[in-house]
């Protein structure tokens, strides 16, 4: 099953969390895979937060898949509240009685995830445009 949740962030950016999970026929275990995408105001399609032109691209290539996925999450601008909301919806689709796990253990590793923060100055600039 695939679940997509889109959030509108404060700086003319949309962030999408794509969660994929599948349970075996005789198993109550569901493994969740995450994908984090963003779309700026001028973009037509969603893309990865760290692309070829991003300063951290080459660092991302050297990391393990789990750590690179966490780095994509941090640079997407998604907050812990958004992530928890998307995971809660995903779990509701499966219903009670399932055990959920993910390879990167997102809930434990992103306790301080804050998303995009705006200063008063940047908020005024965004309102003026």
Residue 91 burial (C-beta neighbours within 10 Å; 0-12, 13-18, 19+): middle
Mean pLDDT value across the chain: 82
Residues in Cβ contact with 56 at an 8 Å cutoff, skipping those fewer than 6 apart: 50, 71, 75
Classified as helix, coil or strand, 69 is helix
Helices (H) and strands (E) in the chain, counts: 5, 4
Please write the tens of the pLDDT for every residue from 92-120.
Answer: 988 788 888 777 777 666 666 666 555 55
Distance separating the N- and C-terminal Cα atoms of the chain? 40
- Interval 17-40: pLDDT, tens: 999 988 777 888 888 889 999 999
Q: Report whether 98 contacts 29 (CB < 8 A).
A: yes
Backbone angles phi, psi at 43, to 5 degrees: -80, 150
Nearest-5° Cα angle at 32, 105 to 108: 15
Q: pTM value?
A: 0.79
């Amino acid at each position: 099953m695939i679940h997509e949740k889109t959030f509108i962030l404060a700086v003319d950016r949309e962030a999408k969390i794509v969660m994929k999970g599948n349970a075996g026929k005789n198993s109550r275990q569901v493994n969740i895979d995450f994908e984090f995408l963003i779309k700026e105001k001028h973009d037509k399609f969603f893309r990865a937060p760290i692309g070829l032109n991003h300063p951290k691209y080459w660092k991302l290539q050297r990391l393990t898949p789990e750590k690179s996925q966490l780095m994509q999450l941090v640079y997407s601008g998604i907050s812990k509240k958004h992530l928890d909301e998307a995971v809660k919806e995903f779990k509701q689709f499966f219903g009670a009685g399932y055990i959920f796990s993910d390879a990167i253990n997102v809930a434990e590793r992103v306790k301080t995830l804050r998303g995009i923060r705006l200063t008063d100055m940047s908020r005024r600039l965004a309102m003026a445009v």
